[in-house]
Structure 1
Amino acid sequence: MRVLRALSSLLVTVTLIGCTSQSTAPGPAVLRDSAPPWPAPRDGLAQIQAAGLEPSRLDDTSGQRRFTLTIAIDGTPVALVPYIGMDRPRALQGPAHTHDDSGVVWLEGRGADTVTLGQFFTLWGVRFDAKCLGASCGTVAVEADGTKVANPVALKLATVTHTLHLDVTSG
């Protein structure tokens, strides 16, 4: 009889837990001011919204283009990580995102023509401004296709054809 009651109680518990809806609301966005490495944020939708961008479905390839982004802090390379700008549980992507750790940034979907480098770092959840990247502050130099960028935060990524290089020198 005890075993039957225990199984019945377990069945009720499992049923109640299984029927509880999971929250689909995004959690709070995070901007890290720490040193790398920086994993992709856990809640991609919160980061997309914090960047002021609209999410698209993961299969939205409209306006597709890509370029390679390299980052160095005091001469040390910083790897891009997979799934920046993506919310895989909700099947959503931001207009700028990564699929893997190859350094390729993909632009596709709503907002792909207007997303900026500053918004990309918000998608990644990393502080980026005229003087700092994460915990590293000093001189921030950015080159797009070999040309120095005057205002890196506002750089529209759609203007980059092949390569974007960001270098931070502390001090």
Structure 2
Amino acid sequence: MRRVTATAVGLAVVVLVAGCAAPQGAPQGAPPWPRPTDLAARAQDAGLRDVWGERLAEHVHTHVTITDGDEPVVIPGDIGHSAAQRFAAEVHTHDTSGIVHVESPERRTFTLGQFFDEWGVSLGPAHVGGLHGDLTVWVDGHRSYGNPRSIPLRDLEQVDLVVTTIGEVPRRPAAFDWPPQYD
């Protein structure tokens, strides 16, 4: 587990101060991080709502990869979703593929931060959950700077979050091979 509170960005040192608060009850240790069981409360905390059975105006799929050094972190299935409870938040997962679904009756921008809030895992400029160090972010193969919480979830894009020890060269994961049903 990495326990670093500052990260080098270029020649400056950025101390983690804002945009990194953990959701209440969020796991702070090393992964794996479980899916939340109180779906309605987690969705509400993320500014989302249950849209089960509603007509959809937007259906987006974003692939999210989290890597601790070279070790992949599994994103659980059924974050914000339960067929048994007939519950589907506007942002959710169905399986452990890393595909995050946005299904909404209105067109609007949903963010990576909302997904992490719903999951109950903290996300900030220098950490993912209890993983601290250098956080390198790529969106569709291009470096992304700033707070990863603000990254919009867009259709068929890939968001890679790679946490490394300070000074370690991050390696971008291979491009996600979208299953045919998403083409």
The residue type paired with residue 66 of structure 1 is: H
Does structure 1 conserve the Cα–Cα contact (< 8 Å) formed by 2:90 and 2:102?
A: yes
Corresponding residue number in structure 1 for 2:52 = 57
Change in Cα spacing, 1:37 to 1:60, as seen in structure 2 (3 Å) is farther
* Residues 1:147 and 2:153 are matched in the alignment: no
The residue type paired with residue 79 of structure 1 is: V
* Residues 1:41 and 2:36 are matched in the alignment: yes
Structure 2 CA distance for aligned equivalents of residues 112 and 44 of structure 1:
22
Change in Cα spacing, 1:110 to 1:140, as seen in structure 2 (3 Å) is farther
Corresponding residue number in structure 2 for 1:167 = 162
The residue type paired with residue 157 of structure 1 is: L
* Residues 1:73 and 2:68 are matched in the alignment: yes
Q: What's the Cα RMSD here?
A: 2.2
TM-score (normalizing by structure 1)? 0.73
Q: Higher strand proportion, which one?
A: 2
Corresponding residue number in structure 1 for 2:130 = 135
Equivalent of 2:153, from 150, 154, 157? 157
Where does structure 2 lack aligned partners over 5 or more consecutive residues? 1-22, 167-183
**Secondary structure of 2:31 counterpart:** coil
Does structure 1 conserve the Cα–Cα contact (< 8 Å) formed by 2:33 and 2:121?
A: yes
Paired positions, count: 143
**Secondary structure of 1:164 counterpart:** strand
Structure 1 CA distance for aligned equivalents of residues 61 and 123 of structure 2:
21
- Post-superposition Cα deviations, 1:63-87, rounded to whole Å, max 9, x if no partner, equal 1121221110122100111101225
